[in-house]
Amino acid sequence: MEGKRRKYLLVAKRYEAAAYILYRKAMKDRNNSFQYMNEYKEISEQALFFYKEAHKNGDKKATRYYDRLKKDIQHRSSTLKKPKVSFVLHVTRVFIFMVIFLVTFFFTFLNPTNYLNYFSLFIPGNAMVLHENKAKVDEQTPGYMEPLLVLKSALYFYTLEHQAAPQSLHELTQKFPNNYLSFIPADGITGSNEIYHSFNGLGGWIYQPSPVQTYSPNEVSQLVSKWVQPNIHNRCQPPSEDTCDFQPLEIIVDKEEKALFLISGTKILRHYQIAVGKDNSTPTGQFYIQKRVINPNYHFPSTTKPFGTRDLELSNSRFAIHGTYEEESIGKNASKGCVRLRNEDVEELFSMATLGTSVTITDDSGLIASRSLINSRKASSFSSEESLKRTDVEKEEDMSTMYQWSH
């Protein structure tokens, strides 16, 4: 009884803290304030539920916390009033509507094909092609989506490699060279990374694998989407029609812009400034991550540690994505072919990019132009500082190999 009481109270406080962050966002960002407030109310309801459960299990303070939060919800909801729409804005909207109507009618009358091509620009997915040189920022991605993408990607590549799902998610965090992930990420809302077999709302993850009948990438991707979900109320749950299908994480290295992007489908999760090879020595093409190594060559005292603190070896084993202590080289053509990042950047990337992750090295900046940037970095559990806290360094070191990549 005592253990349950304390656990329910801790979860309630986590939900309340997460709700308060959403309330602050609602007050700062007036354009999306009502969406943030709706999310604030949903998360607050979860906090109220667990305060009730704590009270049922004998916590006398829980009732006081419950009443205080109830008042806070009412007060905070009343402080946010729907802004009045001015007469000028009404007129502007009518004018824009009339222009769109006349133009589309004109194109339809002259040539239906032209009409369809024009109107397709107003479909949300296609409208992003207008942003050719600047990624659009998506501010409304739930906190659990980024760690969920990382977890599903590791599960996806593991299943393709082993032709079966792991019995436990902890099989993804084995010792080198089977270290698909360094740690099981927290859910992004409650801060828990506990794994459960069924939903109870306590945070962490639900893992329910099923037998794999086929091993085609598309079908494995669909299976993985069902196997793991956040153990909190989220938009992926029934009766929602959003199944939260995912596309595995990929890395795109843009040699021309000297930038590395971590993406999932049309979303950019991270982008870093990098150094590439002198004399066009960094190869272009399709590769994948075949090794993840912490502190490469650190156990050989005579070496100068040219690969920094982390390494992601490519399927062409002469080359790697690694850290560097020569930070002045970042943004330049400075290496013998490898891709260099600052150590703090490669530590973050290392904690997100799993074994099997596809790597595209290109001179074509157009591969990034139509993608949108997820603005979730501030609350990330994958930052260099956070990943160092969660990573068992010794498990992912390779003590037997002297690496000689084209650094």
Banded model confidence at residue 80, pLDDT cuts 50, 70, 90: low
Best mean pLDDT range from 77-86, 91-100, 365-374: 91-100
The predicted structure's pLDDT at residue 16: 87
How far are the Cα atoms of 69, 320, 380, 381 from residue 194, in angstroms, in the given order? 26, 33, 17, 15
- As a whole number, mean pLDDT of residues 251-268 equals 93
- 233 tagged catalytic: no
Supply the DSSP string of 327-380, one letter for each residue.
GGGTTSEEESSPEEEEHHHHHHHHHHPPTT-EEEEES-THHHHT-EEE--GGG-
The CA distance from 289 to 312, in Å, is 6
Name the catalytic one among 55, 271, 322, 407.
322
**Six-digit token pair at 180?**
């698909």
Backbone angles phi, psi at 133, to 5 degrees: -120, -5
Residue 176: DSSP 8-state: T
pLDDT in tens, 265-300: 888 999 999 999 999 999 999 999 999 999 998 887
The CA distance from 38 to 266, in Å, is 26
The CA distance from 42 to 82, in Å, is 19
The predicted structure's pLDDT at residue 403: 87
Whole-number mean pLDDT of the chain?
82
Least confident range of 213-217, 242-246, 323-327: 242-246
Residue % of the chain over a pLDDT of 70: 81
Name the catalytic one among 236, 244, 271, 338.
338
Contact 198, 241 (CB under 8 A): no
- 338 tagged catalytic: yes
**HEC assignment per residue over 269-325:** EEEEECEEEHHHCCCCEEEEEEEEEECCCCCCCCCCCCCCCEEEEECCCCCEEEEEC
pTM: 0.70
For residue 302, give every residue at least 6 positions away whose Cβ sits within 8 Å of its Cβ, in sequence order, or none.
none
Higher pLDDT, 108 or 99: 99
Q: Which long-range contacts (CB under 8 A, 24 or more apart) does 15-24 make?
A: 15/43, 15/44, 15/46, 15/47, 15/50, 15/189, 15/190, 16/44, 16/47, 16/65, 16/69, 18/43, 18/143, 18/189, 18/190, 19/43, 19/44, 19/47, 21/379, 23/76
- Taking 50 as the threshold, does the pLDDT of residue 136 lie above it? no
The predicted structure's pLDDT at residue 129: 34
- As a whole number, mean pLDDT of residues 331-355 equals 95
Q: Which long-range contacts (CB under 8 A, 24 or more apart) does 232-238 make?
A: 232/46, 232/144, 232/187, 232/189, 232/190, 232/201, 232/203, 233/42, 233/46, 233/201, 234/142, 234/144, 235/142, 237/199
For residue 293, give every residue at least 6 positions away whose Cβ sits within 8 Å of its Cβ, in sequence order, or none.
176, 310, 311, 313, 396, 397, 398, 403
The predicted structure's pLDDT at residue 113: 41
Contact 298, 305 (CB under 8 A): yes
